[in-house]
Amino acid sequence: MSIVYPMKLKFLKYWQDIPLLYSFAFILDPRAEMRGLFNVLQLLKEYIGCDYSSYYADVRTEIYKLFNKYERKFGAARSQRATQPASHTGKRKQAWRRIF
| Weakly modelled stretches of the chain, pLDDT under 50 | 95-100
Contact 50, 44 (CB under 8 A): yes
| Contacts of residue 62, Cβ cutoff 8 Å, sequence gap at least 6 | 20, 24
Q: How many residues belong to the chain?
A: 100
**What pLDDT shows up at residue 47?**
84
**What pLDDT shows up at residue 17?**
85
Contact 53, 59 (CB under 8 A): no
| Tens digit of each residue's pLDDT (9 = 90 or more) over 32-56 | 999 999 999 999 899 888 899 999 9
In angstroms, the Cα distances linking 26 to 54, 78, 94, 96, 100 are 17, 26, 45, 44, 49
